[in-house]
Amino acid sequence: MPKKKEQYSSKDVVRLIKLLPDSLPKKVIKNFPENLTPYLYKYGDIFLAISHAIVHQARSPILENRLIQTYKEKFGNENKSINSKNLRLKNIAINRIIIYAHDVIRGRWKEAEDIILEGGPSVIYNYLGSIKQSWPEGEEVMLNDLRIADVYVHSVLCRRWPRFEAVLLERLNTASFKTLEERELIGILEKYIKNYISERWREVEPIIDKIPIYLFNYYDIKCIYLQKVANKTMSQIEIEKYFQEPELNKTQLT
């Protein structure tokens, strides 16, 4: 029986790949027929094949496995020679993994999450923001950067996040408030209280008292907190006691 002639030759595919840039517009890829994907995988760039699969929303387990394998071969931790060009390609690859999870898998791509973890808090945020699902391991790494975790709380979760609260209060409790980064934590706490606290949060009260009164945030955050919980979970006596102006001391003035 004669061998079936392939619709596209390896030369055809290589020629198409060379004509296209690294960042492929969807309108360009859509001009390719859907059955081109396996040829791209066989002859060409695996990342281009994934881009094509994304546009046509055609999931391929073989393609997924090959992408993860190729990524680890090119950019794995054992490969120490990551120059600026390879770093750009690595970021493109991670971005396509996130888009593939969102557009094709429509949820978590668990087999690729080790790769996403390597990208750090900002990459994890992009992934979680795309899939709209919980991923505890990724969320824990994202808490290493509370500014990104803060954006995640307000733009993705939109609710109280106990683990975020614990890490934020821990950082505030050990802060001296002498650096800009530490003072930014006060703003993060203030926004969190304003948006999500509706009952007494006893753990935060000594933290607010610890904020030096010479910082403009001190009275702002105290007023916001009391407005949220007053007459709900605090008695009038407790409110008056808590709102007493603290005594100035040397540590607050240094």
Domain ranges for the chain: 161-254
Per-residue pLDDT tens digits for 124-181: 999 999 998 999 999 999 999 999 999 999 999 999 999 999 999 999 999 998 899 9
List b or e across 26-39, with b for residues whose CB sees 16 or more CB atoms inside 10 angstroms. Answer: eeebeebeeebbbb
pLDDT recorded at residue 145: 96
DSSP 22: S
Report the alpha-carbon distance of residue 209 to residue 204 in Å, rounded. Answer: 9
User: What token pair was written down for 191?
Assistant: 């926004």
Per-residue pLDDT tens digits for 13-62: 445 544 444 444 444 444 444 444 554 444 345 666 666 666 666 677 87
Q: How far is CA 40 from CA 29, 64, 73, 187, 205, in A?
A: 12, 13, 19, 49, 60
Report the alpha-carbon distance of residue 245 to residue 218 in Å, rounded. Answer: 11
Residue type, 45: D
User: What token pair was written down for 205?
Assistant: 């009260």
Which has more pLDDT, 1 or 98? 98
Residue 116 pLDDT greater than 60, yes or no: yes
pLDDT recorded at residue 72: 82
Q: Which positions ≥6 away from 117 have C-beta within 8 Å?
A: 124, 137, 138, 141
Which has more pLDDT, 248 or 133? 133
pLDDT recorded at residue 69: 82
